[in-house]
Amino acid sequence: MTDDMAADTSGDDRARAAFLGSLVADAVSMPVHWYYDRAALDRDYPELLAPADGIGYLPPRSPHPDSILWRSSYVAAGPQFDILGDQAQFWGRRGVHYHQRLPAGGNTLNFQLAAELYRLVRRDRDYDPERWLDHYVAFMRQPARHGDTYVEEYHRHFFTNLAAGRKPINCGVRDVHIGGLAHVPAIVAGLGPRHPDLRRIVRVHVSLTHKDDDVLAAADAFVRMLVRLTRGDRPAEDLRTVVLEEASDWVSAAKLADWNGRCDAAGGPCPDRAVVGGVLSPACYIDEAFPAAVFLACQHAGDCAAGVRANALCGGDNCHRGAVVGALLGATASIPRRLLADLQAHDTLSVS
């Protein structure tokens, strides 16, 4: 390996590359997270319109024209349930960037938690939901530790339930967002793709916060794809073939062909917008967000930089789509070394 990190050696290496790919995709998308006005996205971040081989990380810029943070709220029931800290002063204000204090190459909260999960299961060589919940609650009670302004809805529901006296194991809710998939690559990388109980563990973990059947079905399809793509005891498989066989409830060959044709006809710096934003919603709801992420991965198979760039340029909930796009491409294509070197979390993971 020279300029790039190739994901074609052992299964553990491929799984780690998949996890890193998810972190890279999140960090590339972070400054343009939840942009729905694409003209504004292109105006505010013209660097993303450059060729993919020159893509890098950018800091968030304010104001965020599509921010609806002013509509979000969370009132802690007591100091022990305060998960906003000094970020609370920005909630209720217009134009505030969701990730205003994160540096270029930084990861959003859900992916910082994914890194915490990865380190925990690597240290313990096992997964224990109770131990993870203890770690999660302690981490969230130190909002200055992650420095992110936005705390997604499922975290707020969890701590509201915790404040009401529920045990942590019972604090999850029926959340329908693709953010529930953010930790899947961390589990696969942390335990290894040949772990015999991986699918059950992923289901248990995701259901701690996202008790929605569709999110759990997507998580299961996702882990099945990652296992097939990262197991080192088998020849590397074709990404599109694996997608069509393991995510058949979400995409089909006919759909992929139709969407590919729409992109070919669209042209422009990001033809994928003809599908993600044209046919499929760029928003966070799993029923369209997961197919959109799988489509982007297939569309850019073999080119990780192009895939994470396209995902960012499609706007909407690109950070959490990035868990899928980045992991699938990281498992099957080379991640540019510059993206690994400038990723804030990279040195703390000891996975290079």
Query: Which residue, 9, 23, 1, is CA-closest to 332?
Result: 9
- When mean pLDDT is compared across 136-140, 235-239, 326-330, the lowest value belongs to 235-239
What does the pLDDT average to over 69-88?
A: 95
For position 4, what pLDDT does the model report? 59
Tens-digit pLDDT profile for residues 94-146: 999 999 999 999 999 999 999 999 999 999 999 999 999 999 999 999 999 99
Contact 154, 173 (CB under 8 A): yes
Tell me, rounded to whole angstroms, the distance of Cα 79 from its chain centroid.
29
Dihedral of the alpha carbons of 157, 159, 163, 169, in degrees to the nearest 10: 90
| pLDDT confidence of residue 12 | 81
Question: How confident is the model at residue 298, as a pLDDT?
Answer: 98
Q: What percent of the chain has pLDDT over 70?
A: 95
pLDDT of residue 348: 83
SS3 per-residue string spanning the chain: CCCEECCCCCHHHHHHHHHHHHHHHHHHHHHHCCCCCHHHHHHHCHHHHCCHHHCCCCCCCCCCCCCCHHHCCCCCCCHHHCCCHHHHHHCCCCCCCCCCCCCCCCCCHHHHHHHHHHHHHHHHCCCCHHHHHHHHHHHHCCHHHHCCCCCCHHHHHHHHHHHCCCCHHHCCECCCEHHHHCCHHHHHHHHCCCCCCHHHHHHHHHHCCECCHHHHHHHHHHHHHHHHHHCCCCCCCCHHHHHHHHCCCCCCHHHHHHHHHHHHHHCCCCHHHHCECCCECCCCEHHHHHHHHHHHHHHCCCCHHHHHHHHHHCCCCHHHHHHHHHHHHHHHCCEEHHHHHCCCCHHHHCCC
Contact (CB, 8 A) for 295 and 253: no
**Average pLDDT of the chain?**
95
Kindly indicate the confidence band of residue 330, based on its pLDDT and cuts at 50, 70 and 90: very high
What is the structure's pLDDT at 138? 98
pLDDT surpassing 90 at residue 10: no
Domains of the chain (ranges, CATH numbers)? 4-349 (1.10.4080.10)
Reported as a single tens digit per residue, the pLDDT across 27-62 is: 999 999 999 999 999 999 999 999 988 999 999 999
Q: How far apart are alpha carbons 330 and 22 in whole angstroms?
A: 7
Q: What is the pTM of this model?
A: 0.96
Q: Across residues 235-252, what is the average pLDDT?
A: 94
